[in-house]
Amino acid sequence: MLRSSILLLLTLSLAFCKYAQKAPDNTSTQPTTAPMPTPAAPFFGDYASEWHAIDSLEKQGLFKSALERTEALHTRAKADRNGPQTIKTLLFRGKYSTMLEEDGFVKAVQILENEEKTAAEPERSVLQSLLGELYATYLQNQSWRIQNRTPLADGEGGDILTWSAEQIERRALDFYRASVQNETALRAVPVEYLRDISRPGQADSVDAKPLRPNLFDFLGHRALSHFANERSYLTEPAYQFYLDQPEAFALAGDFVNFNFQSRDTTSGKWLAIRMFQRLMAAHLTNRNEAALADADLLRLQFSKNNAVMVDKADLYGAALHMLHKFHYSHPSQAEVSYHLAQYYVEQAYLPNAGAFLLSQAVTECKSAIRQHPDSYGAKLCAALLYDLQRAEITLETEYVAPPNKPMLAAISYKNLKKVWVKVVQVPGDPSVYEQVDWDQQLPYLNALPAVQQRSWELRDSGDYRLHQTEIKLDPLPAGRYFVLLSGSAAFDGAEQPTRFAPFTCSSLAAVSFDQNGDQQFAVVNRETGSPMVGVRGEFFESKWDRNERRNVRSRIGQELSDRDGFIRTKIDTRRGFNVRLTHEQDTLWLDEFFNNYRSEPRIPNRETQFFTDRSLYRPGQTVYFKGILLQRDERDMPKIIPNTEVSVRFLDANSQEKAA
């Protein structure tokens, strides 16, 4: 779920990770390495006219002038003790420094760090949170370059451009931890303090109660997003923390009081669990049910994703049921219902799962929507409900079937009690259909007369699962067809799904094989397997026609099958082609693309296979060896050449001759 976020950081941190060459002063030249990011949102709040002027300079590409105006506004905001606007000017100063200087990112970091050292609360905690995200974003974007750097045992000097991944991550972690240390002071500051540098997220409040009511909640959840993030490119500690305690799924009161111990105090998972405890403990005290339910849901999802117990799925499901009962009359219950329904869906596809788990998910979603129709959770449930209740069908047929005999088509269906089936005949040349645009294929097929049409009743058990069955198609003469399957008699795919699949009725079958680089074909009767004499094989080449703007087929050869059913091609080397077989009224296009490739004959050559007494020798050690002289013919077959004198030279690692 999306909650409030700091307005400018994403745009700026992305900019910080791109190094631009210094632009001339007061010109409209754009940086050459990356486009300028657009403003994150319209400027509002304090100093609106000044920000509009800065924005105008930026849009003109006058970054140095924009920086100067921002620095002047920074001085004014500090004098006015306007903390949020001071932070905003710092972010823009870092942004413009990045755009103007080759190592502007380092300077941008230094600007924020220098300000953080002397800032008062709550500005200092906000800056610490921003710095944590800045370091984390840089590491994530540059991990492919940074992860091979070796940490220095006696400490890493310099700056972020030379630090190892562990050093940068440690820095991000330290800032995030510091940002939530002053809990008492931060809880006294309402989240509205950040109105000039934040934007509302989706469902920021439930039942008119904010989910992040104060700065501690706001910054705490930002820290959580970092602690809970897996960073696989970092070295694992010697004493890694494993979430193997069932108390991770306990009731909120028991969870916040449990002592999760870890020898690795920098473990992100351990820090996340501790952060959840701090956030939930406060909401248990102040009885903010909306914020408590939100944090509790996030805690259970985190535990499910990171716990190592074999029964964690059962613990997660039981915890959701308890949470559902606890918040049953509150609008937050709708979100709990959504996650409970998702749990049913996940369990439904496990081996030996209950047959009606998906039905339970549907019931849960409907109940949540009925109880809390305008809640964010109800919207989530509606989306899941649509996915569970929508009709689905799939269709499979044989690519080639014997003519004048019934054939089966396999269908899979969900939430349907009846399907309509029809068969249409299409031109024998597949290229005709291939020229139809994909969005016009269904109208094209529907415009053809049906050679078969009927409906089938299906067994729908109401379990919202995908079921499979087979339907019979009546005998058809030799030819090329499409079978259409739909949930409505209109076959238009508008309200009910419609699927279609091609097939050919033919007595012909062919097996291709390579003979000295030429593709040959053995043609047999599809039902008896006996060779077929006198079958005409035609070979077609496709080339792009610039005038018609499509691939055009042209025949490049044809042959008749002999008494053994063999068709021997006489196509030039390295020429691709398709094959059409015809016998009386029966035509079959083979569904493969063939190519004649004759390899050049090998030039006979000699080679020697050496055998030594060991693979590695020390200096001065005697080398014992023997060799076999081979002659390879045109077919690459080796033959030993006896009684032949061969000269052998020994070269060292520098290709200098040592002996002969």
Please give the structure tokens belonging to residue 159.
């700056």
Residue 639 has pLDDT above 50, yes or no: yes
| Identity of the highest mean pLDDT range in 36-50, 63-77, 573-587 | 63-77
The whole-chain average pLDDT of the chain stands at 86
HEC profile for 571-624? CCCCEEEEEEEEECCEEEECCCCEEECCCCCCCCEEEEEEEECCCCCCCCCCCC
Q: What's residue 153's pLDDT?
A: 60
pLDDT confidence tier of residue 23, bands split at 50, 70 and 90: very low
User: 333-348 and 357-371 are packed helices; what angle lies between their axes, rounded to 10 degrees?
Assistant: 170
Q: Which of 90-99, 240-249, 607-616 has the lowest mean pLDDT?
A: 607-616
Give the up-direction half-sphere exposure of residue 330: CA atoms within 13 A in the CB hemisphere. 22
- 78-85 average pLDDT score: 92
Predicted TM-score (pTM) of this structure: 0.77
DSSP 127-145: HHHHHHHHHHHHHHHHHHH
pLDDT confidence tier of residue 571, bands split at 50, 70 and 90: confident
Measured distance CA(435)–CA(429) in Å, rounded:
11
Measured distance CA(642)–CA(533) in Å, rounded:
52
Instruction: For each of the domains in the chain, give its residue range(s) and CATH number, in order of start.
Output: 1-179 (no CATH), 392-504 (2.60.40.1930), 508-596 (2.60.40.1120), 605-659 (no CATH)
- 80-96 average pLDDT score: 92
Indicate if the alpha-carbon torsion angle 180, 181, 184, 185 is positive or negative: negative
- 426-445 average pLDDT score: 91
Please give the structure tokens belonging to residue 168.
């940068």
- 27-48 average pLDDT score: 45
Measured distance CA(183)–CA(200) in Å, rounded:
23
Measured distance CA(423)–CA(425) in Å, rounded:
7
Tokens 């042209």 — which residue? Answer: 554
- CA 450, distance to chain mean position in Å, is 42
pLDDT confidence tier of residue 353, bands split at 50, 70 and 90: confident
What is the CA angle 627-633-635, rounded to 5?
A: 120
Q: What's residue 149's pLDDT?
A: 73
pLDDT confidence tier of residue 484, bands split at 50, 70 and 90: very high
Residue 631 has pLDDT above 50, yes or no: yes
C-alpha separations of 257 from 19, 182, 243, 286, 471 in Å: 47, 21, 16, 17, 61
Asked if 287 and 252 count as a contact pair (C-beta separation under 8 A), the reply is no
- 531-551 average pLDDT score: 88
State phi, psi for 314 to the nearest 5 degrees.
-65, -40
Residue 611 has pLDDT above 90, yes or no: no
Summarised one tens digit per residue, pLDDT across range 184-235 is: 999 999 999 988 888 777 678 888 788 999 999 999 999 999 998 877 556 5
Q: What's residue 333's pLDDT?
A: 94
Q: What's residue 570's pLDDT?
A: 82
- 274-281 average pLDDT score: 96
* H-helix segments, 161-267: 165-179, 183-187, 215-227, 252-257
Please give the structure tokens belonging to residue 332.
């937050």
Pairing of strands 400-401, 498-505: parallel
Measured distance CA(472)–CA(420) in Å, rounded:
12
Summarised one tens digit per residue, pLDDT across range 291-341 is: 999 999 999 999 999 999 999 999 999 999 999 999 988 999 999 999 999
Peptide bond into 502 cis (omega under 30): no
Instruction: Give the three-state DSSP class for 479.
Output: strand
| Identity of the highest mean pLDDT range in 205-214, 440-449, 547-556 | 440-449
Residue 603 has pLDDT above 80, yes or no: no
Residue 27 has pLDDT above 80, yes or no: no
Q: What's residue 233's pLDDT?
A: 52
Summarised one tens digit per residue, pLDDT across range 380-391 is: 999 999 999 999
Residue 609 has pLDDT above 70, yes or no: yes
